[in-house]
Structure 1
Amino acid sequence: MVWLCGRSVARGAVAVAALLGLGLFAAPTRAASPAAKDTRTEAPIAFLYDVTADAALFAKQADLPSPPASMATLMTTEIVFKALADGALKADDQFKVTEDAWRRGGAPSRSSAMFAKLNSQVSVSDLLRGVIVQSGGDAAITLATGLAGSETAFAERMNERAKALGLTRSTFRNATGQPDPAQTMTARDIARLAAHIIRVYPDRYAMFAEPEFTWNKITQRNRNPLLAEYPGADGLKTGFTADSGYGLVGSVTRDGRRLIVVLNGLETAKARAAEARKLLDWGFDAFQRRRLFEAEEQVAEARVFGGAQRYVPLIADAAVDVLTPKNDDARIVARVVYDGPITAPVEKGARIGVLRVWRGDMLSVETPLRAGEAVPEGDLGRRAVDGALELVGDWFDQVIARI
């Protein structure tokens, strides 16, 4: 049973209330998120995401932009993976290690390095392992300059790609994650990027689980502590600078579920590993799944202007589940948002809006909604009536705005 509440908010943001055995859904409050005060982790910034259920399980300052350190190289590798997938690049293509890459990211930099030799030619495949396994700044800069001509040009490409992937609160200035006051990411964006890499490039993603890599006769272990310590871990990246503190984005599979954890701002590598394990344990053990809507079940209706019918049913492509802590009585809140009214004709399958589900004050699920059926244009009389109703609605909004 679905109820549409209210005419519109901001001319088309429509709240949905539903009674699904979970309690009456209502608009979320604006109070400070309880997650910000949660003691489940000592990390200043934390985000736990269930990839399988497409649900956020835990958030603590997850939308705060902060220095990502080497976790920023996830975007570097994504761009290279895409170029390989598109055929614009081959794994055995060779890039030259320039003096800039060697000096700023290699042995002279006294930072994490692949230790590639100056002016040597290194394959894309080996450079990727230099970035992923060894956190090599020289490898990241070499890939950036080889693909875009300069690291600055590559950073522009990173920002364009971030926008295309919906990473709305991430800004890149270099390919390495080295400190720059303008280079920031949020924990939620990092998790979203990690999930994208896992889903779109499963074969390439296997590099993130490689325990070590040897180059220039120097063997370095993968810095991700979860790979050796946590069953089912297969990625992804650690990061550290004086500005960012110790951070990690990790991914683990267990019993058919995949969780991604993102932490940042911790004081030691030991604390980083311990807090990641603690959150993952809680995420795997403490949650139960609740089904809100089946795949292609009607979630709500959207008002149609000038159509043969006044409303079009909205459906989700896949089943919509929410994960809630066991014995937790947090209120489940759902809201459908779309720009409306929708103008006829409407094609079946057209994307109309988005369903957002909160658990307490934390956004847990966000999924697109599509038209469940086609709505052709109505006759002249129907369009005239809808036009008159729209004029009355506009007048009513203006009167309310003056009150």
Structure 2
Amino acid sequence: MVAVVRTRVARTRFAMGLAVALFAAGVGPVAHAASIETIAKQAILVDITSNTVLFEKSPDQRMAPSSMSKIMTMYMVFDAIKEGRLTLDSTLPVSERAWRMQGSKMFVELHNNIKVDDLIKGVIVQSGNDACIVFAEGLAGSESAFAERMNKRARELGLKDTNLTNATGWPDPNHYMTARDLAILAEHLIKDFPEYYHYYSIREFKYHGINQGNRNPLLYRGMDVDGMKTGHTEAGGYGLTASAEREGRRLILVVNGLPNMQARADESARLIEWGFREFATYALFKAGETVDQVPLWLGAQDTVPVTVPEDMKVTMARADRSGMKVSLVSNAPVAAPVKKGDVVGKVVVSAPGFPGKEFPVVAAQDVEKLGFVGRALAAAKFLIFGAS
């Protein structure tokens, strides 16, 4: 049972309309435990279970995402499958441009028609640039047209500082993302296409007689990491977007600008383990559960029960849990009539060392306004006894 402290705020000072802080909207709170450093040039660690940023370093700095931008390529592919424009058994032709593509390769055969299922594994497991070109040309006719579609979708997903010029992450000064945008994109892919996310945990794939292992080093460390994508270019350094799920919590990490493969593996593992060890997610109220009663003015009943429209969870440093305070703030008494679902206040969660988080509370039922006689009696009561 969560103890809730009820607080009134004068109507003239209280500004309603603050919804649950969503990380995907770029306004998630940052919860800091004991400080941690990283040699990565850009980094962000997010608990997407409660939309809380646990750690960040230059998260909004433009960077070369390298092959990590292939997450957007796969988002477009999975979206095409979901919309019925592709199936896993569909085949796509290999152009000479795709066949000649350099860098990491799946080793597609010139003029062959390759199954979408194999191409997906070629992109995710083998980081195949050639497979990315096959997808781009198959879905949009050309890689440049595919890039335009990716940028349009990026804006729709809320990626505020992303511009993609190719499907592979090939070096280009105009091909950039931020660590925050990559984390948002990773979250969208996981949540929008859960039926296809399993591809990211495949450890090896053999095609054209060549067996290649997944480049994600954390898949082999037994630390609950189940995706996503590495990247490396001279401009960007060594990077990794990774996701791990443990005890009902899912963390997403993006690091970039690391000096070598070993540093990428070790820094990523250290940051993820720190996130799980130092922080915990606490469930306070379930969606629809009554939080408290809010007083009404001139209502058919004196109070209205209030609830939260979504599960209410907060992530904070374990050391801060003992000082957590949960307060219901409203401009009570709320004037009737009230409709079910009307926002009538907010729950504020605070603790020493925790920046605070707010959740809207809504009326759990309709309450009509008193009739003329009832209002007259209420007014007389107020004149005689004052506000209660």
TM-score above 0.5, yes or no: yes
- 1:68 is aligned, of 65, 82, 89, to 65
For 1:153, the equivalent position in structure 2 comes to 145
Cα deviations across residues 196-220 of structure 1 (Å, max 9, x unaligned)? 2223322311111111112221111
Cα deviations across residues 276-320 of structure 1 (Å, max 9, x unaligned)? 11111111111233455553468899xxxxxx9xxx998543232
For 2:122, the equivalent position in structure 1 comes to 130
CA distance 1:210–1:295, change in 2 (3 Å): same
CA distance 1:315–1:41, change in 2 (3 Å): farther
> What is the letter of the counterpart of residue 204 of structure 2?
E
SS in 2 for 1:88: coil
How many aligned positions are there?
A: 357
**Structure 1 residues 160-171: aligned runs within 5 Å:** 160-171=152-163
Structure 2 residues without counterparts, runs of 5 or longer: 21-29, 294-299, 329-335, 372-388
Q: Greater CA radius of gyration, 1 or 2?
A: 2
Aligned equivalents of 1:13, 1:278: Cα separation in 2: 39
**Structure 1 residues 1-400: aligned runs within 5 Å:** 1=5, 3=7, 38-103=35-100, 106=101, 109=102, 111-291=103-283, 293-296=285-288, 316-328=308-320, 348-349=340-341
> What is the letter of the counterpart of residue 104 of structure 2?
S
Aligned equivalents of 1:315, 1:366: Cα separation in 2: 14
219-228 or 147-156, which deviates more: 147-156
CA distance 1:93–1:372, change in 2 (3 Å): same
Residues 198, 205 of structure 1: 8 Å contact kept: yes
TM-score, length-scaled by structure 2: 0.74
CA distance 1:351–1:264, change in 2 (3 Å): farther
Residues 239, 254 of structure 2: 8 Å contact kept: yes
CA distance 1:356–1:3, change in 2 (3 Å): closer
> What is the letter of the counterpart of residue 279 of structure 1?
L
Deviation at 1:13, TM superposition (A): 6.5
Aligned equivalents of 2:139, 2:346: Cα separation in 1: 36
> What is the letter of the counterpart of residue 247 of structure 2?
D
SS in 2 for 1:203: coil
Deviation at 1:326, TM superposition (A): 2.7
287-296 or 210-219, which deviates more: 287-296
TM-score, length-scaled by structure 1: 0.71
Deviation at 1:370, TM superposition (A): 6.5
CA RMSD after TM alignment: 4.5
> What is the letter of the counterpart of residue 53 of structure 2?
A
Residues 230, 277 of structure 1: 8 Å contact kept: no
Identity of aligned residues (%): 43
